[in-house]
Copies of this chain bind each other. A is one copy, B any other.
Amino acid sequence: MSNVSGFPEWLPEERIAELKWLDEIRRVFESYGFCSLETPSVEEIDALLAKGETDKEIYAIRRLHTDDEANEARLGLHFDLTIPLARYVAEHYGQLVFPFKRYQIQRVWRGERPQEGRFREFYQCDIDVINMDQVPLHFDAEMPAIMYDILSRLGVGQFQILISNRKILEGYLKGLGIEDTISAVRILDKLDKIGADDVITQLQSGLGLSRELAARCLALASIRTSDLSFVDKVRELGVESDLLNQGLDELSYVMKELIPLSADAFVADLSIARGLDYYTGTVYETKLLEFPGLGSICSGGRYENLAGAFTSRKLPGVGISLGFSRLFAKFLAEKRLPVGPKCPTQVLVVLPRAELREEAARTASQLRQRGLNVELYHSPVKTGNQIRYALRKGIPYVWFPPIEDGGVHQVKDLQSEEQTPADPTVWMPLH
C-alpha cells in the first residue's frame, strides 16, 4: 500500500525545505500585520456551493459506519480558502475589527482526475482584506506588493505579477456595443493559451462579431506595459465608457503604488480577467518567466460582495492566493531547492560508554537550553558508528563529553573535520 495518487508527501529533507518556505511566507504575511486564521477543513456542502455551481470537484465526507445515512449532514472538504473566509466573517462579524486582514495557510482538496502535476490535496497561502461597505484601493496595491516580497525571498527566479481591472475590459466591450461581455471576456482571457488568431476566430464564431470588431477587442487585450502608458494606449483605441474610465483610474492608482517597488515585476496586462471567478475590479495573475507552462502561481482580485451568500451585510474584499504546493513541487522536481540535512539536529552528543549516559545527557540538555537542536546518541556503540549516523543525517557537529574526571569536552566539525576543545556553556556552531 502506498500514499494515494494526487496526495503528495515529502521526504524529511524535502519537508525541511517546505517548512522554510512556509515559515518565510508566514513571516512576511505577519510583517504586514495580517492575522492568522484557520477554518475547519469541512463545510456544509450547501455553503461550498453558495456562490453557485463550481468547476472545482468537491470531496464529500461521510462516516463509514453510519446507522442513519439519510440524516447525515451533507459535508465536504473545502476546495479553496475564500468561501470558508466568507462564511467565517459573516458568522463572527461582531467579534472582528474591520478592515479585517487575515492570512490563511491551509490545505485544500479538489477531486481532480489524477494527472501529471495535479494535486488533490495541496497548500494554499491566502491573504484577504474584508471591510464593511467599501475597501480602499490601497489594499489592491498591497496584495501584489506582499506577494512580490514573498516571491523575491523564496528565490523562484524572475516573475511577473500581471494586473488588470475587469472594469476596463467590460467597459471597453460595452463601449464597442458588445452585449454578451461575459462570453467575450472568457474568450479574451484565453489569449495567452490559444493565441491571437484563435481568439479572433472564436469571437467571430461564438459571438457573431465582425472580424474588425473582434480585432478591436483583441487590440485592448494585447496591451501590456510595466508603466502607466497603458492608459494612453487604451485612449488611442478611441472607445469611451464611464466603466472603462473608472477601471483605468483604479489600475493607474494600483500601478502607481507598485512601480516604486520594482521596475519590471508588475505589469498592467489588459488580457487578464480570471474568467470563471467572481471578481469585479482588480485582478491578478503571476507567471514565472522560466516556467510559463506552470500557469499562474498566484492569483486573485477584488470582489464587490464576498459574503453575500452568508449575510445581508455588504462585505467587499480583495485578496490573492499563492498556489503553494504546485510551486514547491516544481522547484523540488527541478532540483532548484537547497535540500540538505535530513533532520534539524545541529549537534550529536556521543555516548562513549553506558556509565557515562547521565553526564552525556546533562551535556545535551545544557546545549539544548541554550537554544541548540541536540540529539544524544541512544546506545554506547563504537564512536565511528555514532559519527556515521551524524554524517548520514547531515548533522554538522559531533560532541564528545569527557570520558574521565577532569577531562575536557571536545567538538568535531564534520565539514572541516577539525576537532577542538569546547565549553558546553558558551560554544556556538559556526554554520
Contact = CB atoms under 8 A, between A and B. Distances in A.
A31 B43 CA distance: 37
A161 interface: no
* Number of copies of chain A assembled together: 2
Contact of A33 (B64, B92, B375): B375
Nearest to A102: B12
A52 to B, nearest CB: 15
Interface in A287-322: 310
Interface residues on A, range: 35 or more
A9 B88 contact: yes
A255 to B, nearest CB: 14
A389 B45 CA distance: 36
Interface stretch (A193-201, A366-374, A416-424): A366-374
A12 B40 contact: no
Given A33-B374, A35-B16, A57 B62 contact: no
B38 A10 contact: yes
A194 B96 CA distance: 45
Nearest to A111: B63
A40 to B, nearest CB: 3
A182 interface: no
Contacts of A3: 39-40, 43, 87-88, 91
A69 to B, nearest CB: 12
A366 B310 CA distance: 40
A343 B61 contact: no
12 contacts: A1-B310, A7-B40, A9-B40, A12-B96, A32-B375, A35-B343, A42-B120, A58-B64, A61-B77, A96-B342, A97-B393, A136-B379
